[in-house]
Amino acid sequence: MFHKEGFTIIIVSFLLLAVAAIIVDYFIAIKWLKTLLQVFLFVMLILVLQFFRNPNRPPLGLTDAIIAPVDGKVVIIEEVEEPEYFKGKRLQVSIFMSPINVHVTRYPVSGEVVFSKYHPGKYLVAWHPKSSTLNERTTIVVKNQLFGDILYRQIAGALARRIVNYAKKGDQVTQGTDAGFIKFGSRVDVFLPPNTPINVEIGQKVKGGITLITAKTAD
């Protein structure tokens, strides 16, 4: 299954690569070079397809847990000052997505979207300390009955040039369902109440909609 945000790119890529394959077959007489180019074109198509894959992951529907919103590797777990919405201390959990990860964003909790804002910006590498405040990004806050306001931020990386965010203020959303997409490398930060017990650790690989960030009740 492929994400709807990739349909146009997949079709265009397939047509361009098919034309390129025909040209290679028609004009390249050297057998080893022809084979090498054909393999290269096939690999390029596979890379496009794998980037936009959207594995079927039924929502867990957990009322006492916050789940990872994306696939990737945990790169930050620390208490920080969150200046945009909370304007105070929060526990930040950041997940870095490489180009080979699934790039679907999923809601970490169920509840009502109370804040959703897009910010244009730079395209620093996603692990840069200032990427969360300088890069292109969206900030979304979901009010959950148990945990209160949970903020997650989609951050564009050095390769990303478009963030897709489906969350609109007033929406009632379900944990684990499709919340958006980030194209070609990125990071997602989740901001939790201070002292929230964390079930993941630095360097751990997580799966969006499956891995539990915390399964404890919030303070």
Return phi, psi of residue 53, to 5°.
Answer: -65, 150
Average pLDDT, the chain: 87
pTM greater than 0.85: no
User: Which pLDDT tens digits describe the chain residue by residue (219 residues)?
Assistant: 776 876 888 898 889 989 998 999 888 888 889 899 999 999 888 888 877 788 888 888 888 999 999 999 999 999 999 999 999 999 999 999 887 888 899 999 999 999 999 988 665 555 555 556 567 889 999 999 999 999 999 988 655 557 889 999 999 999 999 999 887 668 899 999 998 999 999 999 999 999 999 986 544
Q: Is residue 57 part of a domain?
A: no
Whether residue 161 sits in one domain with residue 85: yes
Whether residue 56 is contained in a domain is answered as: no
Active-site position among 94, 110, 132, 186: 186
Q: Can you tell me the distance from the alpha carbon of 94 to that of 91, in angstroms, rounded to the nearest whole number?
A: 10
Do 11 and 46 share a structural domain?
yes
Give the DSSP letter string of 23-86: HHHHH---HHHHHHHHHHHHHHHHHHHHHTB---------SS-EE-SSSEEEEEEEEEEETTTT
Residue 95 lies in a domain: yes
Give the pLDDT of residue 136.
83
Residues 78 and 149 in one domain: yes
**186 has catalytic annotation:** yes
Please tell me the total count of domains within the chain. 2
Assess if residue 11 is contained within a domain: yes
Residue pLDDT, tens place only, 22-64: 999 888 888 889 899 999 999 888 888 877 788 888 888 888 9
Verify that 34 and 78 share a domain, yes or no: no
d(CA 191, CA 120): 20
The token pair that represents 173 in the structure block: 């959303």
Cross-strand partners of 205: 73
Q: What is the pLDDT of residue 198?
A: 94
Task: Spell out the residues 6+ positions from residue 44 whose beta carbon is closer than 8 angstroms to its own.
Answer: 13, 17
Instruction: Tell me, yes or no, whether 185 and 96 share the same domain.
Output: yes
Name the residue range of residue 29's domain: 4-51
Residues 40 and 70 in one domain: no
- How many CA atoms, within 13 angstroms, populate the side-chain half-sphere of residue 194? 9
pLDDT of residue 205: 96
pLDDT at 218: 45
State residue 133's pLDDT score. Answer: 59
Q: Does residue 96 form part of some domain?
A: yes
Going by C-beta distance under 8 Å and a sequence separation of 6 or more, which residues neighbour residue 116? 138, 139, 140, 141, 165, 167, 168, 169
In a domain, 138, yes or no: yes
pLDDT of the residue at 111: 95
Do residue 44 and residue 70 come from a single domain? no
CA triple 72-78-81, angle to 5 deg: 115
Token duo for residue 162? 């478009």
Q: What is the pLDDT of residue 47?
A: 80
Q: Is residue 40 part of a domain?
A: yes
For the stretch 153-171, pLDDT in tens is 998 865 555 788 999 999 9
